[in-house]
Structure 1
């Protein structure tokens, strides 16, 4: 789906490698404006729902209503079902209705935050769904720990995300701007906190704040920029991907990841691979991918601390260069090829021996 986040990137990168190694992979996903069933990189994508899926609610309801039936119809052709957790309640308790060996891939585990946002008990559904699984793949240690608190009996394999190796080859440069890349979710991704911090820090920083991405809250973000009188210092770039995204990351002086919650933090690792230090809130999962020496973490959701950190680090050119080199070395270890092999091993443990012979997922 255009504008999809790091979770969709991970699904695509892992699956295309499984397909290349001889496995048949079908992804049942949501509909969206302009959707079409297609085969891409050897993976079959089948959007489920009703109509064009023009709104988030329509996409969610259509997908949830159609998914169990569509999985059941395809069960004879599948050796393994993978439930990729999704917003707003993470899991539909897939092992109860797939009729096949099932494993969960947990790239999203923020139902409690959505419960507070919408005043609905999504976290109860999440907990109930997690407790139905016997095997899960978590993209970070922090996420794995949360899962085992909900279901102490579950087996959890921690398999992170990878990076586009082209990022490592872009020459290092000292950029001028502060950059955010990600879904345009005003509260969940912490863009509201970033704009407040930028209002304080921008007076001490020569560059501008660039916001790249797409998402449901774009107009709310534009309104907040105008309300804060920041239109001349904040620029929305729209959706950027591929080589253009890597070059944008490399051209920034600092990348800020202001999320209130993350399960991994792919943008942070991509930034480090591109030679750009990262500032993030000190929360589980993000502290795993922004280790000391590769960037800086600040008190969670502290606007003043974020503003101070941006101002302080912006001018220290020597430290920026040293941090960039350390970050790039750290990020070089995140290989999609290695991670795809590890994920296939986790799949095989659930569906052995048929999955190892090159069958269907």
Structure 2
């Protein structure tokens, strides 16, 4: 299996087409309902996970096709051996048009392709999580759950998205959750489901940078106000910025970017906040390494990949004490504060910022912790979960890994 994540392989043309469907015995043909394309501007960490896992499946000889939303400039392509097929109507210039195009086109596209696949993988996505794929795919189906916040979208839009989510979760008999917190939420909705906890991995380039005690406080992520807690971050920064020598650097893009920028202007914080736009790859890790602290003000997370990336670069993290972040910001690597309390967040930022010895110690501990998140091991576990979801495959071809304990390390599995 290839361990390389530092550089992308050259794309192949449609004529080359990657691995042939229907290879040697034991090779899987996976149709992945991935929703978000990692190359779409503003795409989140979920699409990164999808690609990192899938390209390793392809390297092992499996065939993977990912169906995604359309967006301006989207074309069918092969990337690292993984086939990407955008679905939609028109250019997909708005979030609503991308969602509607995907939802309306998806069932027909799955029906057209199901004779050439062994397994359908459904990624959950906003705003209602799942389309209850097992009810209509007529193929063995497993869910990969990196998003489970339909209740919040219901409150935001006044629509019963959470009821759709509940029906969809109950339709699945097998699911992969990226954290114990997410697994517990899924189990509460569907006690009969079999759930594997398989976390996210780390791009090894994050460990290649040289840690340094910088000046700035950094936020990296989707610019989405409610879920990512950017309103709370700005409230905290308004209290904290006069006691911090550096700036708040906001890295990312997303649907609420203009709203966030307007809030910064209205609060008079323009001189202490910088927007960089989307930064990825080695540039992102260098930016994290140059920071003094990383802040994750999310109200909800299903994993918290940015936290792991920050720790890997030697930059400690301050975050709210919510279940999934609690798993990836352990004691000694960063600090957790009372959930959604902007004043407490501000106090913690100022306190830790001005204790350089504690920051250096936490940075060393964080780098050691981050080395545990290995994509190759996680891809192997996910392949085992996929095989377990296909009843006709010989049992000897896979080793099943049950849900790990809450205190376990991501990427390993233990019997509850």
- TM-score (norm. length: structure 1): 0.98
Residues in 1 aligned to 2:395 and 2:353: alpha-carbon distance in whole angstroms = 50
Q: Which residue number corresponds to residue 194 of structure 2?
A: 155
Matched, 1:59 2:98: yes
Which of 1 and 2 has higher RCO (CA within 8 Å, sep 6+)? 1
Measured after TM superposition, the shift of residue 2 of structure 1 is: 2.0
Deviation at 1:9, TM superposition (A): 0.5
2:151 maps to which of 112, 121, 125: 112
Q: Hey, what does 2:82 align to over in structure 1? A: 43
Who is 1:273 aligned against? Answer: 312
Matched, 1:317 2:392: no
User: Which residue is equivalent to 1:97?
Assistant: 136
Give 1:80 deviation, angstroms. 0.2
1:353 matched to 2:388: no
Task: Confirm or deny: 8 A CA contact 1:79 1:354 kept in the other structure.
Answer: no
Q: Secondary structure at the match of 1:32?
A: coil
**Which of these residues, 174, 177, 185, is aligned with residue 138 of structure 1?**
177
Segments of 4+ moved more than 6 angstroms: 354-357
Structure number with the higher helix fraction is: 1
Question: Structure 1, residues 292-345: CA drift from partner, whole Å, max 9, x if none?
Answer: 111000000000000000000001011000001111111100000110000000
The residue number in structure 2 matching 1:343 is 382
Correspondence list, 1:1-361, <5 A: 1-351=40-390, 353=393
Q: Does structure 2 conserve the Cα–Cα contact (< 8 Å) formed by 1:28 and 1:48? A: yes
Distance (whole Å) between structure 1 residues aligned to residue 180 and residue 314 of structure 2: 25
Cα RMSD, aligned residues only = 1.3
Gapped runs of 5+ residues in structure 1?
none
Q: CA deviation at 1:204?
A: 0.2
Deviation at 1:186, TM superposition (A): 1.5
- Contact 1:80 1:355 (8 Å CA) reproduced: no
Instruction: Identify the residue that residue 412 of structure 2 maps to in structure 1.
Output: none
TM-score by length of 2: 0.85
Query: Distance in 2 between the 1:264 and 1:189 partners?
Result: 13
Query: Structure 2 CA distance, aligned partners of 1:79 and 1:193?
Result: 45
Q: Distance in 2 between matches of 1:356 and 1:75?
A: 25
Per the TM alignment, residue 169 of structure 1 is displaced from its structure 2 partner at its CA by 2.1
Structure-1 separation of matches of 2:141 and 2:103? 17
Provide the secondary structure at the position in 1 that maps to 2:250: strand
CA contact (8 A) 1:254 1:314 kept: yes
Give the Cα separation in 1 of the matches to 2:94 and 2:394. 39
Cα offset, 1:356, TM superposition: 9.5
Q: Tell me, in whole angstroms, the C-alpha distance in 1 between the residues paired with 2:394 and 2:270.
A: 57
3-state SS of paired residue (1:59): helix
Q: SS in structure 2 opposite 1:219?
A: helix
2:238 and 2:91 map into 1 onto residues whose CA distance is 39
Q: Is the 8 A contact 1:189 1:258 kept in 2?
A: yes
* Cα separation, 2, equivalents of 1:294 and 1:355: 41
Q: CA deviation at 1:167?
A: 1.2
Q: Is the 8 A contact 1:213 1:239 kept in 2?
A: yes
Q: Secondary structure at the match of 1:229?
A: coil
Work out the CA distance in 2 between the residues paired with 1:52 and 1:80. 29
The alpha-carbon deviation at position 354 of structure 1 amounts to 7.8
User: Is contact 1:106–1:138 with CA below 8 Å preserved after alignment?
Assistant: yes
Provide structure 2 residue ranges, at least 5 long, that are not aligned to the other structure. Answer: 1-39, 398-416
Question: How many angstroms does 1:172 deviate by?
Answer: 1.4
Distance 2:291 2:50 in 1: 27
Distance 1:355 1:32 in 2: 41
Q: Counterpart in 1 of 2:32?
A: none
